[in-house]
Homo-oligomer: A and B are copies of this chain.
Amino acid sequence: MNTENRITIRKVADAAGVSKQTVSRVINDHPDVADRTRKRVQEVIDQLGYHPSAVARSLTKQRTRMIVVVTAGLNLIGPSSVLNGVSLKAEELGYTLLLKNLPDFYVRDYQELIRYIIEMRVEGVAWVCPEIDHNRRESIEKLSKLPVPIIFQGSSPIKDALVVTIDNYGGGCLATQHLIDQGFREIGHISGPLEFGDAEARKEGWFDSLQKIGSSPTDMHWTEGDWSAASGAKALSDLLDKYPDMEAIFVANDQMAIGAIQRLHDCGLQVPGDLAIIGYDNIPESAYNSPPLSTISQDFHAMGAKTIEVLVDAIKAQQSGKEPPGFESVILNTDLIIRKSSIRNR
């Protein structure tokens, strides 16, 4: 930044023949300024193209109006969609977003992260990383001593932290119940990597829904993928081998479901004729798969927006001296999208 050319409040004041003080009042819309003075100062500001420094302002006001959003896996549909909601809501509420993107899902160095958060003097932290087992509890613990509020985007509610959640368990139930409603009883599952809280919760939804109708799923009835279409194809082959009676399958995301369908076609099997399938996520391609894929949709955008809303509430509470109003998890619901892949042929 070419320091010599930078317009400061000092230069504006001199040019307008007033004190810095008065210029400050004008740029902050303070009422106690004579109309003529205000007009003259404003003219100088416009003419010089003066923009007050947020840095200096942050220092004096002891407020940065900044939030750091910690992300991972921006190439995934979930995190990037949530980030979209987060950023729009932050802007709306007048906060600047610092993006801290982790190279993978694991935090190698909490000390360094904490150092960053504190040094930047952000007012809050939005944790928009997929929940990985063990990892999440560790994050909550290690980050609990932060001097500012932190909110997690989670797979399931947590008692001692601020969390906004999409109801993965409920979504898993919804998907499985739909297959049950279609008349299927032999229902398999391809889960996501179970380190992911999302994957675990969806699987539990599948398991509990089957228990309710008197089935008791065992390890013969499900297998694990890694979210990718390739893993879905492989998982399907495995499952077909160990669970030959399977009539229908709940796959924990659409990409794996699409891979599985592809594999079925390769084997000369029909969907839903030979095997009914429902996925999860409602990615754009699902409606145009052959056959169109039934799925569970979740409003990532709303989740992002809600995350910031709750965080900003907590920030305000803290700044006004009140303790935050307890840790109430926000849980967002999912929707069942029925397409051809899960419809029972009669």
**A residues near B, CB below 8 A?**
1-3, 5-6, 51-56, 58-59, 62-64, 69, 71, 74-75, 80-81, 83-84, 87-88, 91, 96-101, 103, 115, 118-121, 123, 147-148, 228-230, 232-233, 255, 258-259, 261-262, 265, 283-285, 287-290, 292, 318-319
Contacts and interface: CB of A to CB of B under 8 A. Distances in A.
Contacts of A75: 80-81, 84
Contact of A229 (B69, B84, B262, B285): B285
B62 A59 contact: no
Nearest to A52: B119
A74 B81 contact: yes
Q: How many copies does the complex hold?
A: 2
A233 B87 contact: no
Contact of A258 (B52, B230, B285): B285
Q: Which residue, A91, A101, A148, A265, has most C-beta atoms of chain B within 10 A?
A: A101
Given A53-B59, A55-B55, A261-B290, 12 more contacts: A2-B318, A3-B62, A5-B147, A54-B120, A55-B59, A55-B120, A74-B83, A74-B84, A75-B81, A91-B101, A229-B285, A255-B284
Q: Which residue, A52, A75, A148, has most C-beta atoms of chain B within 10 A?
A: A75
A229 B232 CA distance: 22
